[in-house]
Structure 1
């Protein structure tokens, strides 16, 4: 005998499935409803701006992000990304500020607010810089962004104000290399020490640490018996910093071994120094 379908059971099954689907889509439907019911972009922008003026920076950042999500093609959306980054920075939320500003630089490079985005990234990393005896990852990232400002956007206000921060970052990195180099010297690991002092002479010639770095290179090369490099280090030191106490010490060290300063054109020190025209041997100024 042919069985009739159990329509009641089928209806119950479909109803249960519908409930499950509704529960599964609850979160996404809330987001969708939020977007569908969003205020016009100009109102959202004004509301976020008002929150900024009240010092409610984190709330302002979220409002700017809501604007970008709700009206991604509106004229206000692009600027809302960088303003969200700025608001997060003012709220002390460095990771969020960096993420938002980096998103802007990827999506809108070279635009009017790109210098501000790089400035926010640089500032967040600069604020997180460690002393010279600790990890320097944040210092390197800050310096990278500051140099981008100077090279890509030289006429921007942020680039014009970056010079002092660049000097501080470079000085911190040079000091860090010097500390590690001195440590290796104490361990009599002269090759490792030379590699650290070499960074200072090659990359941070405008810092005060370069004078000591040249003196320490003299000591290391003398210890290894590489006298022509020691003589070159002292020659460069004496030519550029004749009144330096580090030059007097380096000169005395050479003299104690019957040597005198003598520049070798094949030395990496000479080549590195000539790469900086204002301070290079035989260069102008």
Structure 2
């Protein structure tokens, strides 16, 4: 049987030793070191809280995340997760704040800090709301979170704060629908315009834009010859906003064509309106 030469054994030993050193180098990376040599959770929490108090929000967020990774089953870990989201938000890191807060609500729904997590998500998106002629994706996401706060956590501080923001978000979405609707109307694409104005009347009745939307619906329906819907639009407008200049304009347009306001009980407008108008046979004149 052939014996392994002494020099070959020495080469193999060196190779194995080198591999061991390489592995040791990997294990000594910053992430591994932080996990292997992590401080106790209470100290990490205190350090992160101290960073927050000094306005070093991004450093605090990373420290809270380190705590969550190093001591995932500690009492401090769950709170650290939502505070990491809050620290990222304070640091102006919206996407990171949303990601951390969403992770929290997935893992710990319905807990004491869940309203705070939803508030962080809502605030991050709310800060990104654009003007009416810009993309409204952030507005829709903010509104979704704000409504979750109101419906699931009505007694929370954040739900009470959400009320005004909901009005702002809905107004922004309604304004955007009106912007696009007016564009389509100007292009004489009346069906597309109606779809936009319909959204305002159906979904954003509490905004100031609903009066104009009903007027524009009158114009579009008259242009298409759909008189009964035009009559309903003017009737709904007159019943709910009798002093509105939009009602005066819509009423004038309708009467010029020889028609009077009349609410059709089968119209989508009559069904969609929250306070269904109670008109007489002919509606308001």
Q: TM-score range by the shorter chain?
A: over 0.9
In structure 1, stretches of 5+ residues that fail to align are none
What pairs up with 1:8-19 in 2 under 5 angstroms?
8-19=7-18
Over residues 164-184 of structure 1, what are the superposed CA-to-partner deviations in whole Å (9 max), with x where a residue is unaligned?
111110000000000000000
- Residue 233 of structure 1: aligned partner: 233
Query: Structure 1's 190 and 57: CA in aligned 2 closer, same or farther, altered over 3 A?
Result: same
Matches within 5 A, 1:174-189: 174-189=174-189
Matches within 5 A, 1:75-86: 75-86=75-86
Equivalent pairs counted in the alignment come to 278
Q: Deviations over 1:250-269 (max 9, x none)?
A: 11111011001111111111
Q: Distance in 1 between matches of 2:250 and 2:20?
A: 79
**TM-score when scaled to structure 2?**
0.93
Q: CA RMSD in A?
A: 1.6
Q: Which residue of 2 aligns with 1:6?
A: 5
1:212 maps to 212
Structure-2 residue corresponding to 1:98? 98
Q: 1:32 to 1:187 in 2, by over 3 A?
A: same
1:281 is displaced (CA, Å) by: 2.1
Q: Deviation string for 1:49-69 (max 9, x for gaps)?
A: 011000010110010000000
- Distance in 2 between residues matched to 1:176 and 1:28, nearest whole Å: 54
Task: For residues 42-91 of structure 1, give each alpha carbon's deviation from its aligned partner in whole angstroms, at most 9, with x where no partner exists.
Answer: 11101100110000101100100000001000000000000000000000
In the alignment, the residues of structure 1 paired with residue 28 and residue 278 of structure 2 have an alpha-carbon distance, to the nearest angstrom, of 71
Q: 1:214 to 1:24 in 2, by over 3 A?
A: farther
5+ residue gaps, structure 2, are: 280-285
Give yes or no for the alignment of 1:149 onto 2:149.
yes
Q: Write the deviation string for residues 177-219 of structure 1: whole angstroms up to 9, x where unpaired.
A: 0000000001000000001001100100000000000000010
